[in-house]
Structure 1
Amino acid sequence: MDRMESNEWNHEKSYTSIATAGSPQELRAKRSDCQNVLLEQLNVIPIEEWMLRVNAMHDLIARAAVGIVEAQMKEAGYGPPPCAYSFIVFGSAGRQEATLWSDQDNGLIVEGEPDGEKKRYFAAFGSMLSDLLETTGYEKCEGRVMCSEPMWNMTLPEWKAQLESWKSQLEWEPIRYLIISSDMRHVAGNAQLSGEWKEAFYAGLSGNVKLQNAILRNTVRHKATLNLLGQVLTERFGDHAGGFDIKYGVYIPLVNSVRHLSLLYGVRMNSTLGRVKELQRLGEYPYLGEIGRSFLTALRMRVNTPYHMQDGLLSSSDYIAESELKNKQVMAELRESLLLVRRIHKALQRQLRSAERRQS
């Protein structure tokens, strides 16, 4: 058995073992084993395939965690779930672009009208699940987009009302929540609930000019990454002095731009590359070939940033190290991607100014 075949065998074996985990500690250990196999495959297989494998691992862990929590809820005296529910993810997990060190971005959709029994059960369930995922290696979201939070854990009718509220307010914060929601993906539980949620999300979105402009307004916020001479702006101070933030410098601006276009043209794909391919099929926007290539570059650079391992789990700052930036090829690829980001950003700013003039 050669190295590639060995990696594939270990890969399948580690996946299979995740589903059999019966406790948070066992699930954490199995995650550690699986990610070690994935690290061996990094830069050996294409980055798109590698990301799919990483996110398949995350999904398997989430499904196993849901099962463990259901058992823990019974042991704690809550009994079985009082109704159907769906565990959903947002952010990079929703787009199937989570790294080996991504944090939590998730929620719950509960079947039927709200009542006291459901509220008690799923409040405890969401809190317990978020804690278990933290034990398994997923840090809690600083923005509190988690199933332990009431805003992201509610019945389908409550979700529908909340989505409508966000669509109608057109202010920065509710639009931010709406944008987060656009990446929602079903992972465990009742898929029909997630499907109905999706329909509620898209209802009234098409042709809503004011809402689209509000989404665009949120999208164009972006920190400068090139100076007037087109040189890459690195961090000047702090722990990452001399380095470059690939996540917020390239990856997030590309994600945000493609998401905006997808919402504008009714593309319902979740992954950024899937959205790019569908937009190309529709022929709705220039630069899409360049965006796809730069996005793959951003993914590759991001997953290769220096990481720290503690107790078998990884963390990273998402900064390209100063030493790596001395590599001419890396710097050339980075600068090319940043020039594209700047070009798209300027085009979106012009689009927003034109839209606001028409509204005034």
Structure 2
Amino acid sequence: METVLHDDMSNLLDLLPPLTQLTRYCTVGEITEVLHQLKADLVTVRRKFEVWDAQSALQQGLIGTAGADTLKQLHDELNRIELERFIAAGSVSNLHRSCTRYRDLLAERALQIVTEEMAAAGYGAPPVSYALVSMGSDGREEQTLITDQDYLIVYDDGGEEAADAWFVEFGNRLVDCLEIAGFKRCTGDIMTSNPTWRGSYKQWRKRLFAIVRYEVEDFAKNMMDLIVLSDARFVGGDRELGGKLIELIRDMEKEHFQVLWSMARAATEMKLALGFMRRLWTEPSGEHRGELNVKLLAWAPLVMNVRILAISQGMAATNTVQRINYLEQEGSFSEEMARGLREAYDTLTHHRILLQIKQIKGIQKDSYYLDPLMLDSGEREQLRQAVIRVEELQKMIHTNFNIV
């Protein structure tokens, strides 16, 4: 918690002008008065963050013994705390870290609740060990204020049909429990109730081999599934088993270049919110005329293209900023490009979170569309530069993978 508080305070202090500039316009007495007031304000702000830290710690401490209905209340309160903290400090990384931490706790508690319910209902204990693995923003440890379910289950071999049947019931109940706890059902059906996202290790291995060897009928859909799996991260259950599946996914993606090439082509073909003369492109007509979809036309292409390079280098990290850092360290990115991509990620994610806040507060219907004219000129240019950075990344991957 202390690290979060320090980072938040640093963000606030970064907004202040250098004192050397103040002496050009103010007397020593005026500066002294301002500094005293500033000190008092910082003390007030620090206390506010300390209160949020204490409240968050209290709520998280209650998760381990809470029932399913209570989990929703705790989840809502933790979201409220992070919303207020973000409005005050605007730290994307701190929001990611906090939301990911307490949602992992909520998911682990859901596993315990469902396991106990299964035993009480006569299904018995899990017939074999299993692991819950997250994907999407949760897998990348990039959780924000609005979330849905992006989980898979892998269970150990040896249980045969009895294990399959047990985990069908377990997967269905887990989805229900998570929904009660405040995790929306995934519109893409990436949930443990879907047999595509549930299976023994042997079944998962067979499924993955079928994709990378082009043995499946709907290759496009299965390719998207493989892309989703690229962000897999262990959440609960048997850590060794979860890690074993994740390692298998990484190895298959890296070793089958044609599959990786197909993923790279899809990434470089993602449309961006750039129009003529690299100006921001907005919807020309319809309900969202004059607006742009920040997620679809800027943020998602950035995450996707960084992911492709990380996979090609065999990196275990799933977090986008960590991937950028590692790609800089191993030489794929220059210092300037890495810095630009980190700034682009922060800018685009910051706007996405602000849009989520507007949706939560009922100001707008969704958290995707942004009207650039609602920003000041500096913010618009910052947004435009962020999208340009993504375009440059796409061009780099297009060249590296010899995509024609």
Mapping of residues 155-174 of structure 1, within 5 Å: 155-169=200-214, 171-174=219-222
Q: Which moved more, 1:156-165 or 1:212-221?
A: 212-221
Match of 1:331 among 380, 383, 396: 380
Is the aligned partner of 1:307 residue 2:358?
A: yes
Mapping of residues 256-271 of structure 1, within 5 Å: 256-271=304-319
- The match for 1:32 is 76
The residue type equivalent to 1:41 in the other structure is R
Is the aligned partner of 1:141 residue 2:222?
A: no
Q: Which whole-Å CA distance do the structure 2 matches of 1:59 and 1:121 have between them?
A: 23
Any conservation in 2 of the 1:212–1:264 contact (CA below 8 Å)?
yes
Q: Which has the larger radius of gyration?
A: 2
Q: Give structure 2 stretches of 5+ with no counterpart.
A: 1-43
Alpha-carbon deviations, 1:201-260, whole Å to 9, x = none? Answer: 133444543232122122223124111122212234444333322111221111001100
Any conservation in 1 of the 2:272–2:387 contact (CA below 8 Å)?
no
Change (3 A) 1:225 1:323: closer
- The match for 2:348 is 298
Any conservation in 1 of the 2:234–2:242 contact (CA below 8 Å)?
yes
Mapping of residues 192-211 of structure 1, within 5 Å: 192-206=240-254, 208-211=256-259
- The match for 1:42 is 86
Q: Which moved more, 1:241-250 or 1:25-34?
A: 241-250
C-alpha deviation, 1:164, in angstroms:
1.4
Is the aligned partner of 1:247 residue 2:291?
A: no
Q: Which whole-Å CA distance do the structure 1 matches of 2:71 and 2:301 have between them?
A: 34
Report how many aligned residue pairs link the two structures: 352
- TM-score (structure 1 length as normaliser): 0.91
Q: Which moved more, 1:69-78 or 1:151-160?
A: 69-78
Alpha-carbon deviations, 1:124-179, whole Å to 9, x = none? Answer: 11011111212222221122111111111100111111111111119422222111
C-alpha deviation, 1:9, in angstroms:
0.9
Change (3 A) 1:239 1:169: same
Residue 276 of structure 2 aligns to a residue whose secondary structure is coil
Change (3 A) 1:212 1:84: same
Q: Which whole-Å CA distance do the structure 2 matches of 1:314 and 1:60 have between them?
A: 30
Match of 1:17 among 62, 71, 84: 62
Coordinate RMSD, CA, aligned = 2.3
- Greater per-residue helix proportion: 2
Any conservation in 1 of the 2:83–2:145 contact (CA below 8 Å)?
no
Q: Which moved more, 1:200-209 or 1:334-343?
A: 200-209
Match of 1:186 among 227, 234, 237: 234
C-alpha deviation, 1:323, in angstroms:
7.2
Any conservation in 2 of the 1:101–1:316 contact (CA below 8 Å)?
no
The residue type equivalent to 1:115 in the other structure is E
Residue 308 of structure 1 aligns to a residue whose secondary structure is helix
- TM-score (structure 2 length as normaliser): 0.81
Match of 1:342 among 374, 380, 391: 391
Q: Which whole-Å CA distance do the structure 1 matches of 2:305 and 2:313 have between them?
A: 13
- The match for 1:150 is 195
Q: Structure 1 runs of 4+ off > 6 angstroms? A: 313-316
Mapping of residues 75-94 of structure 1, within 5 Å: 75-94=120-139
Alpha-carbon deviations, 1:241-280, whole Å to 9, x = none? Answer: 3332211122111100110000111111010011111111
The residue type equivalent to 1:348 in the other structure is I
Residue 322 of structure 2 aligns to a residue whose secondary structure is helix
Alpha-carbon deviations, 1:3-53, whole Å to 9, x = none? Answer: 12111111211211222212x211101111111111111143432122100
Q: Which moved more, 1:128-137 or 1:256-265?
A: 128-137
The residue type equivalent to 2:203 in the other structure is E
Alpha-carbon deviations, 1:170-190, whole Å to 9, x = none? Answer: 942222211111100110100
Residue 186 of structure 1 aligns to a residue whose secondary structure is strand
Any conservation in 2 of the 1:301–1:320 contact (CA below 8 Å)?
no
C-alpha deviation, 1:56, in angstroms:
0.9
Any conservation in 2 of the 1:324–1:330 contact (CA below 8 Å)?
no
Q: Which whole-Å CA distance do the structure 1 matches of 2:117 and 2:285 have between them?
A: 46
Q: Which moved more, 1:253-262 or 1:134-143?
A: 134-143
Change (3 A) 1:327 1:314: closer
- The match for 2:7 is none
Q: Which whole-Å CA distance do the structure 2 matches of 1:326 and 1:278 have between them?
A: 33
Q: Give structure 1 stretches of 5+ with no counterpart.
A: none
The residue type equivalent to 1:308 in the other structure is Q
Residue 88 of structure 1 aligns to a residue whose secondary structure is strand
Q: Which moved more, 1:145-154 or 1:169-178?
A: 169-178
